[in-house]
Amino acid sequence: MVAGLLSLLFVAALQLGLALHVRNTLIADAAEGARRGARADSTPAEGAARARELIRAGLADSYASDVTAGRRVVDGMTVVEVEIRAPLPLVGTFGPGGGLTVHGHALVEQQ
């Protein structure tokens, strides 16, 4: 009885660690994609492509299926925003699609 409960708690802790790893990896990839898209010689689409490339290198391909990027003005400054929608890993790496949304922002460089 106690061994079963301890096993359940151990698996739950591992799953929480996996979910946090996926979220942190996606946040870092979105930020890196935004920085790439904000360069003076780049476009937001190149930033989204860079984010997809990084996601595929660090996680499964299914996490890179919904990546968007665009420019917007915030307080008079132009920023590039990369948005990643991915499944929230609830059982292993499987979970509901679009359950996790992260953003990365970077100021656009001027030439």
3-state secondary structure of 99: coil
57 phi-psi bin (left φ>0, alpha ψ -120 to 50, beta other): alpha
Q: What is the DSSP string of 17-51?
A: HHHHHHHHHHHHHHHHHHHHHTSTT--HHHHHHHH
**pLDDT tens-digit series, residues 36-79:** 999 999 999 999 999 999 999 999 888 999 999 999 998 989 99
pLDDT confidence bin for 1, thresholds 50/70/90: confident
Q: Which amino acid is at 51?
A: A
| Cα atoms in the Cβ-side hemisphere of radius 13 Å centred on 85 | 7
Query: 108 pairs with which residues across the strands?
Result: none
pTM for the model: 0.89
